[in-house]
Amino acid sequence: MRSRYSAYTRSNSRYLLNSWHATTRPSSLDLNQTLQPDWLVLKVCRTEAGNASDSNGTVEFIARYRENGSTEVIHEISRFVKEGGHWFYLDGTLSQPTQNGLCPCGGGKKFKRCCGK
């Protein structure tokens, strides 16, 4: 997950496509660096499986970015699968945390006082 986030921050579409599972991978990614947001931080909230002996895993994360002067948040639960000793991004489910709801990172604070800053 962290390597894919880094690839997004560097507009490295080749790495993103190569680390995307063939069954769900798009044919191309247009990561024109002049149009990309300013990525601020990645916070991994939770992981399930994904160890060396596992064949699949799940990562819940929050990524913050700035675009057009506004700070935005992506909250996703991503699924990964391991094939041939390599991990591939399979798909993800987006969720929009509410400002006054509990933060999905598990810190026990409201989202606006935790990862929503």
- Where b means 16+ CB within 10 Å and e means fewer, 93-113 reads eeeebeeeeebbbeeeeebee
pLDDT in the model for residue 73: 85
Q: What is the pLDDT along the chain (117 residues), one digit of tens a residue?
A: 899 999 999 999 999 999 999 999 999 998 876 678 899 999 998 999 999 999 999 999 999 888 888 888 888 999 999 999 999 999 999 987 777 888 777 778 888 787 776
Q: For residue 33, what pLDDT is reported?
A: 63
- Regarding pTM above 0.95, the answer is no
Architecture in CATH of 2-113: Roll (3.10)
